[in-house]
Structure 1
């Protein structure tokens, strides 16, 4: 029992250390989740923790469980109003772009690394999707005001391309395990999984929203539990019906997030936090599964493939996919650079381990190395590249964190203007420090000729006009008196 307590204290201390230093890491453009991979490696059998973990099947199950909720959170936070403007190019990047990437990586791995063509295609399928957690983390932590419509395009692509990569990976593994032939059968299965996943996702999404709206629970805290149960039910039910569970979960969540839903704001915030927990879980698990000593044998070929993916293959896939759209050259170059690989790719690589595919260990270690280098190199250079390509909008003050996931419930109440005058206690305060009552919501800040969509970090200045909405005038009067607003 004492050994277990020591282990819990050690693991908790490592995780708290990672979280505490998250701001320093994100300022460098590196997602904090990368730190949790290293935390898992430190805890592992070749690190200070000495925890031996070599169970690919368990890691795969944990990864699937986590991905279900990560993708559900992404779907809940997908604003149809913002997404529909980039729906077609985003959908093409999430499907055709994934396939083009998989094929090009497969061919390159075959000729450059000496893998068989099928092994190369398996590697390509696994790394064909971009990582939503990494993309969201970097864009929002750096408060990047990207020129329209780059932010919703990038977030739609990264949050919706896992299902295509998942299906490609499963299809290639099935082909490698078969005795030959049956290609058209697998192609039909691929299409059927898409159709069943999408159809059931829509159906379960509307049914789930109806259930949450109609059910009357004694505690508001039970509504997130109901929604979480719906997510796991949708994933399992769609899989049982031979559909794509990840696609079904994403579409169901997107439907639920875009219809009238009681406690929508609290649900979105719950799943945002819960998805962080799931991301930490999967990153630490994958870090434990990796043996650093084995990376020495693959670092050079993995570095070659990582460079090819960053500078040749991803740009080729983006330019081919977006060739029918009038995006400027520099915008396409920036989209090409935001091709960060991450947890999804590493989870998909565990499928090869569990199925006993030849060279599965090599493929897994290469995917792990490719994902790390992608997030560290591309992530840290994201802001400089956006600036160099002129993709930062210095005029538009609407932050990226509100360009796509501005999921506030319908405004119920009256819109008021509050002026910040000289002597007001609000001058110099961050929005989060103003302690707005729950019934009062700040919507916009007028500052001179500019309009700012505030975040918790936004500082209030003398002369600002705060646009707030509330249905309770007594709460508004108390706020005005406390902060000396007019």
Structure 2
């Protein structure tokens, strides 16, 4: 298939998704489902077109996630981080680990998978999704009491390193039944990924801010272009040095967003548009990768695990993580327990073992699709009513 046809096809799918976006908001349907539905409806056999490339899909999904997380960092003020980093940091680390363990124990009793595969499945869906959290909170214009929205945003933007590391290690273990990975190797890799990402994100972010404030570009349109180039240097530079690319994206975004003094409006509009483009392309490509005929057989097998993740594994993990924070109200704890939004991140993570050829990984990918679907519909739809019910809405 020629490059021209691919470009025309993707542009047409984006146009269709955007045209459906406004009526979808009228009915409260998240944009994630609209764009993914466009990919599902128009690919994989319809119109004599079949898309099946796990590696390319994973690459597109990873790139889009980097952009979305970076833009989320640009729009996050330092005050929110100062108020949320303790609780959000515990949820982003121990919360992911506890969720993985609890959910693995649950699905080990339900599914015909060995325990390593169950751990891998659980790790894939253990983190909350930054794109889903940022977009749903923004679309519903929610401002929550007790900095609850800030905690959710901080958690979702910083919990991917732990989840990604678990997915990579467990994928390696699933491919080699005789291979065991020492705990100190996992800890060292985690420290390296976080440490390198923090250093590179901070350094590149500070240099970017200093240069922009020092030079004071007369052409405002060059400011977002300059920031985009620095974003690429920060994220992919961190990855080359062994750091976590998503964490580097978020940190550099926070540094730049809070540091630049000129061109903030043009910068905001440019990167918000870029974030929407990234979301559209990512969800459409993910939709194209999913084969509808394969989903029918896996739907009912996904219902119970999805509900147990939402109402058992995630709440239990959050409640344990909140034991040190005795001043947090039960309303806040309950809300964060029940609002662990999933989005494109688990699907992108599920592509890692699928592309590597882990036995059963394709079934996991399809089940993750439904878990994300249930999460977006149930948890995404419950955010505003639950906030009102618990009297956390500060709007």
TM-score (norm: length of structure 1):
0.75
Q: 1:65 maps to what in 2?
A: 63
Instruction: Extract structure 1 runs of 4+ deviating beyond 6 A.
Output: 1-7
Q: 1:149 maps to what in 2?
A: 147
Q: 2:371 maps to what in 1?
A: 370
What pairs with 1:43-442 in structure 2 (closer than 5 Å)? Answer: 43-47=42-46, 49-178=47-176, 179-183=178-182, 184-215=184-215, 217=217, 219-325=219-325, 326-393=327-394, 397=395
- Tell me if the contact between 1:29 and 1:383 (Cα under 8 Å) persists in the aligned partners: no
- Tell me if the contact between 2:125 and 2:342 (Cα under 8 Å) persists in the aligned partners: yes
Aligned-residue offset at 1:217: 4.5
Q: How many residues align?
A: 392
Aligned-residue offset at 1:150: 1.4
CA distance in 2, matches of 1:372, 1:341: 8
Aligned-residue offset at 1:99: 1.4
Q: 1:25 maps to what in 2?
A: 24
SS of residue in 1 equivalent to 2:259: coil
SS of residue in 1 equivalent to 2:275: helix
Aligned-residue offset at 1:100: 1.2
Aligned-residue offset at 1:3: 12
Superposed CA offset, 1:13-41 (max 9, x none):
55444323434433444321211000001
- Tell me if the contact between 1:29 and 1:142 (Cα under 8 Å) persists in the aligned partners: no
CA distance in 2, matches of 1:28, 1:317: 33
SS of residue in 1 equivalent to 2:146: coil
CA distance in 2, matches of 1:361, 1:113: 14
Query: Highest relative contact order (Cα 8 Å, sep 6+), 1 or 2?
Result: 2
Aligned-residue offset at 1:387: 2.2
Q: 2:39 maps to what in 1?
A: 40
Q: Cα distance 1:290–1:240, how it changes in 2: closer, same or farther (>3 A)?
A: same
Give the structure with the larger helix fraction. 2
CA distance in 2, matches of 1:145, 1:374: 21
Q: Cα distance 1:3–1:125, how it changes in 2: closer, same or farther (>3 A)?
A: closer
Q: Cα distance 1:30–1:386, how it changes in 2: closer, same or farther (>3 A)?
A: farther
Cα RMSD of the aligned pairs, angstroms, is 2.4
CA distance in 2, matches of 1:134, 1:36: 13
The runs of 5 or more residues in structure 2 that have no matched partner are none
Aligned-residue offset at 1:140: 2.6
Aligned-residue offset at 1:186: 2.9
CA distance in 2, matches of 1:116, 1:5: 43
- Tell me if the contact between 1:171 and 1:190 (Cα under 8 Å) persists in the aligned partners: no
CA distance in 2, matches of 1:275, 1:228: 12
